Structure 1
Amino acid sequence: MTERKCILTGDRADPDTLVRLAVGPEGQVLPDIRAKAPGRGAWIGVSRAELETALAKGKLKGALARAFKDSALQISDDLPAMIESGLRKTLLDRLGLESRASMLLTGSEKIDVACRKGQVRLLLHAADAAADGNRKLDQALRVGQEAEGTDLAGIVLPVDREALSMAMGRDNVVHIAVTDSRAASRLRAAIGRLESYLGCANGAPVQGEPDSTDVPGVVV
Structure 2
Amino acid sequence: MTERKCILTGDRADPETLIRLAIGPDGQVLPDVRAKAPGRGAWIGVSRAELETALAKGKLKGAIARSFKDGALQIEADLPERIEQALRQDLLSRLGLEARASMLLTGSEKIDTACRKGLVKLLLHAADAAADGNRKLDQALRVGQEAEGSDLAGIVLPVDREALSMAMGRDNVVHVAVTDSRAALRLRAALGRLESYLGCVIEAPAQAEERSSAAQGAEIAWNDASVPAPAGDEVKG
Shared fold, TM over 0.5: yes
Structure 1 residue aligned with 2:219: 209
Match of 1:136 in 2: 136
SS at match of 1:21: strand
Deviation at 1:70, TM superposition (A): 0.7
Unpaired segments of 5 or more residues in structure 1?
A: 211-219
1:201 CA drift (Å): 2.7
Counterpart residue type for residue 209 of structure 1: E
Aligned-residue Cα RMSD (Å) equals: 1.3
Identity in percent: 84
Normalising by structure 1, we get a TM-score of 0.93
1:80-125 CA distances to partner (integer Å, 9 max, x unpaired)?
A: 0110111011100000010011110001111001000000000000
After superposition, the C-alpha distances for 1:13-40 in whole angstroms (9 at most, x for unaligned) are 0000000001112211000111011111
* Other-structure match for 2:121: 121
Superimposed CA distance per residue, residues 26-64 of structure 1 (whole angstroms, 9 cap, x where no aligned partner): 211000111011111100000011101110111100100
Aligned counterparts of 1:201 and 1:20: Cα–Cα separation in 2:
22
Counterparts of 1:10-159 in structure 2, within 5 Å, are 10-159=10-159
* Paired positions, count: 211
Equivalent-residue separation in structure 2 for 1:38 and 1:162 (angstroms): 33
Using the TM superposition, give the Cα deviation of residue 151 of structure 1 relative to its aligned residue in structure 2, in angstroms.
1.2
Secondary structure in 1 matching 2:162: helix
Pairwise CA distance, 1:170: 0.6
Q: Shift in Å at residue 9 of structure 1?
A: 0.6
**Aligned-partner Cα distance in 1 for 2:194–2:102:** 24
Distance 1:202 1:7 in 2: 26
Q: Following the alignment from structure 2 to structure 1, what is the Cα–Cα distance between the partners of residues 119 and 53?
A: 44
- Tell me how far apart the structure 2 counterparts of residues 19 and 126 of structure 1 sit (CA, whole Å): 24
* Aligned mates of 1:150, 1:68 — CA distance in 2: 49
Task: Give, in whole Å, the separation in 1 of the partners of 2:92 and 2:202.
Answer: 18
CA–CA distance in structure 2, aligned partners of residues 26 and 115 of structure 1:
50
Higher relative contact order (CA 8 A, sep 6+): 1
Report the Cα distance in structure 2 between the residues aligned to 1:35 and 1:166, rounded to whole angstroms: 24
CA distance in 2, matches of 1:126, 1:75: 33
Which portions of structure 1, spanning 4 or more consecutive aligned residues, are displaced by more than 4 angstroms? 203-207
Give TM-score, length-normalised by structure 2.
0.87
Q: Quick one: distance in 2 between partners of 1:199 and 1:69?
A: 30
